[in-house]
Chains A and B, each alone.
Chain A
Amino acid sequence: MPELNPVTSKPIEINGITVDDTFAEAFGMTGSSLIITADTIKWARICATVVTGFGTSVIGCGAECGIDYEVSPNDTPDGRPGVRVLMFGFSPDALTPQVKNRVGQCVLTSPGSACYNGLLGTEQKIALASGVKFFGDGNQTAKKLGNRRFWRIPVMDGEFICEDTVGMTTDAVGGGNMLILGRDRTGLLETTEAAVHAIAQVPDVITPFPGGIVRSGSKVGAKYKGMFASTNDAFAPTLRGAAKSELSDDTIAVLEIVIDGLTSAAVANAMRAGLKAVLDVGASKGVTRISAGNYGGKLGQHHYHLKELV
């Protein structure tokens, strides 16, 4: 369980909201990115939503995935509307099959879709088309333009274009976070949504949980064998009184935003944007406090101190 507000800490108050003197502890991850295009932005969004589905946490999903931003037709390789998605995994070996399987099952199958490298210039690469091209059953062909190779795989609506490789970085960061506490559940949700919206404007990051928000913050381990994580009892309001709680009496609910980014700087920028959004509107919506999750600073390589970001 993250340790919050040790006795030496000095919380600060901004706009009527307490900001804990603590930090978010995040981990090095492997990241990759795809640009998915389609005939319309509607179908690019559908495809991007599906390919990033079931991608909230590496623990249970294998990868953490989300939509980074929509790409204008002027900026996509084929001049059609596109969506940039990011995917994160524990390691290159863990991420590679996730990216390839998701493209094989969710992009190849989506009407009019094409799939391109969204992370150019990296040394490490995923051989994206090394499996999916064989769907062409020998009829696949490649077209090399400059130093990029594109596979043309025959499908029922024409051809699925899939770039041969996509970039991969091991400088990615997963687990940037902030906990937002409030005395009104509706107002808390609206505030957290505003923070997610602000974070969405920052490039190179995603908030992989549903709508960017997680309500089931966890501690490490459980009383049951085989459970890697279990409810964060110190932050579960209904356990106040029954377990050691971090929550004041008037805290009704806590929501968390988890941030993954291609670089540490991107995660810091995202946290800064999210914190600002909460501090700007939160007090009027019943938000009382902002905190962050960490493990004492010994497990994660990246620490984002809230005080330095507000």
Chain B
Amino acid sequence: MSALTLKLKAAPDQRLDLSALSPAKMATMSQSEIENLAIGTGRRPVKLGDLFAISGTPGDTLVIDGATARLDGIGSELDQGTIIVEGDVGAYAGRRMKGGRLDIRGTTGPYLASGLRGGLVLAKSAGDLVGAPRVGERFGMMGGIVVIAGDVGERAGDRMRRGTIITKGRFGPSAGSRMMGGTLWTETGFGAGPGPLMRRGTLIGPSVERLLPTFGDAGLHDLNVLRLISRYFSSELGDLAPKPLPAKVRRISGDLATIGKGEILLTA
């Protein structure tokens, strides 16, 4: 396995757009082409080689070392290979990713995995609107898996249609807003008012800070689908998978302000 490493030389004075960086694309580029990639977002043009020390061999892995919250769009449209990020990242990391693996070993800004289609996104903790669509887009996440070790900001899974967001920590307020499918799974709990205007989809967790009045308690259930979900993620994620779900859960149906086919499954 060959890897190309980009090490940030100094804190950037503007936000940087790293959406053009992908292991597969860079494997076909010469050293000078890589150094001349435009990554600036301000009036002063910035090239990759200006701010990053580039070492290693282009291949299926890209390592970004010393990252900061001013680096946006890392892993955008990634369809194969691995990107490892040491440090924090800005907005839109993993935006519309289709495959491969984005491993962020720090905190992310908003819109992590925005419109994700496939692949695996890992992060230590995440900002608001994980998986959400950009303004004007119809759907948020359409597939793939996001695993966050710590807490997540507000409205994770907004307009989500398919895929899964898992956190060992806690989802912030209004997780699963306008959700149309897919799964949010927390091992710690949900913040206030999860699932506003959700039509379908599944929120799984031990507790909810405060339920919306448009959600109804549907009582205890023994759902085979939980075994299916547990086993799927156990085989897919190995050690990263959450603990298997219990046999019985309390089901809260909603949002009854819409068609109400969504559910919050309380595991404790």
Residues of A within 8 A of B181 (CB): 142, 144
Most central of A143, A152, A158 by chain B CB within 10 Å: A143
Main secondary structure, interface of A, reads: strand
Q: How far is the CA of A139 from the CA of B202 in the complex (A)?
A: 14
Q: How far is the CA of A258 from the CA of B104 in the complex (A)?
A: 58
Residues of B within 8 A of A77 (CB): 228, 231-232
CB–CB A144/B162 < 8 A: yes
Interface size of B by Cβ–Cβ distance < 8 Å? 19
- The smallest beta-carbon distance between B16 and chain A, in angstroms, is 34
CB–CB B231/A78 < 8 A: yes
Which of A112, A150, A158 has a CB less than 8 Å from the CB of B228?
A150
Near B by CB (< 8 A), chain A positions 50-108 give: 77-80
- Interface magnitude class on chain A: 10 to 19
- The smallest beta-carbon distance between A81 and chain B, in angstroms, is 12
Q: How far is the CA of A137 from the CA of B132 in the complex (A)?
A: 31
CB–CB B231/A146 < 8 A: no
Mask: chain B, 185-228; 1 = CB below 8 Å from A; 0 = not? 00000000000000010100000000000000000011111011
CB–CB B224/A114 < 8 A: yes
> How many pairs, one residue from A and one from B, have CB atoms within 8 Å of each other in the complex?
45
User: Is A145 engaged at the interface, CB distance under 8 Å to the other chain?
Assistant: yes
User: Is A159 engaged at the interface, CB distance under 8 Å to the other chain?
Assistant: yes
Q: How far is the CA of A78 from the CA of B244 in the complex (A)?
A: 12
Identity of the chain A residue whose Cβ is nearest the Cβ of B142 in the assembled complex? A144
CB–CB B225/A159 < 8 A: yes
- The smallest beta-carbon distance between B201 and chain A, in angstroms, is 9
CB–CB A139/B261 < 8 A: yes
Q: How far is the CA of A101 from the CA of B227 in the complex (A)?
A: 26
User: Is A141 engaged at the interface, CB distance under 8 Å to the other chain?
Assistant: yes
Identity of the chain B residue whose Cβ is nearest the Cβ of A139 in the assembled complex? B261
Q: How far is the CA of A78 from the CA of B181 in the complex (A)?
A: 20
User: Is B183 engaged at the interface, CB distance under 8 Å to the other chain?
Assistant: yes
User: Is B229 engaged at the interface, CB distance under 8 Å to the other chain?
Assistant: yes
Residues of A within 8 A of B227 (CB): 78-80
Identity of the chain B residue whose Cβ is nearest the Cβ of A152 in the assembled complex? B225
Q: How far is the CA of A114 from the CA of B223 in the complex (A)?
A: 11
- Which positions in B face A, CB cutoff 8 Å? 143, 162, 181, 183, 200, 202, 221-225, 227-232, 236, 261
- Which positions in A face B, CB cutoff 8 Å? 77-80, 112, 114, 139, 141-146, 150, 152, 158-159, 161
21 A-B pairs in the complex with CB atoms less than 8 angstroms apart: A77-B228, A77-B231, A78-B227, A78-B231, A79-B227, A80-B224, A114-B224, A114-B228, A142-B181, A143-B183, A143-B202, A143-B225, A143-B229, A144-B143, A145-B229, A145-B232, A146-B232, A150-B228, A159-B225, A161-B224, A161-B225
Identify the 8 closest CB pairs spanning chains A and B, nearest first: A78-B227, A145-B232, A78-B228, A79-B231, A79-B227, A144-B162, A161-B224, A152-B225
